[in-house]
Amino acid sequence: MTLTLRILLILSSVLASCTVVRRIRKSKMQIDDAVFWVLFSLVLIVLAVFPHIIYWISIRTGIQSPANLLYLLIIFVLIMKIFSMSIKLSILESKITKLAQDTALEKIEK
């Protein structure tokens, strides 16, 4: 990993963590989502500060470039986060539909 990539990872992770903390203070973010983003940022900082970890993993997995492995891991984690968010969204949409139907039935009965 180049020094530029490492510095970029650290800066973007610190910026993301600051944004998450600010949103929590304004009550615009759930704590469980905030924990994910803070932990994700911390992992990126650790990988940037100790690049030998990503080098070791890339050697063990047979991926030639540690930067490619890093991008692959980031994409994988973000896809999993999107998947979990879509599940939450589906559950909430079902609850909204049920609430709307119950409200409509209550209005008809009155």
Nearest-angstrom CA–CA distance, 14 and 8: 10
Q: How confident is the model at residue 100 (pLDDT cuts 50, 70, 90)?
A: very high
Record the pTM: 0.82
Q: How confident is the model at residue 1 (pLDDT cuts 50, 70, 90)?
A: confident
Q: How confident is the model at residue 50 (pLDDT cuts 50, 70, 90)?
A: very high
Percentage of residues in the chain with pLDDT exceeding 90? 90
**pLDDT, tens digit (0-9, with 9 covering 90-100), for 6-48:** 999 999 999 999 999 999 999 888 898 999 999 999 999 999 9
The residue whose two tokens read 């909204």 is 96
What is the pLDDT, as a whole number, of residue 5? 92
What is the pLDDT, as a whole number, of residue 110? 79
Nearest-angstrom CA–CA distance, 78 and 88: 15
Q: Decide: 55 and 61 in contact? Cβ < 8 Å.
A: no
Q: Decide: 16 and 8 in contact? Cβ < 8 Å.
A: no
CB neighbours of 2 closer than 8 A, spacing ≥ 6?
Answer: 67
Q: What is the DSSP letter of 64?
A: S
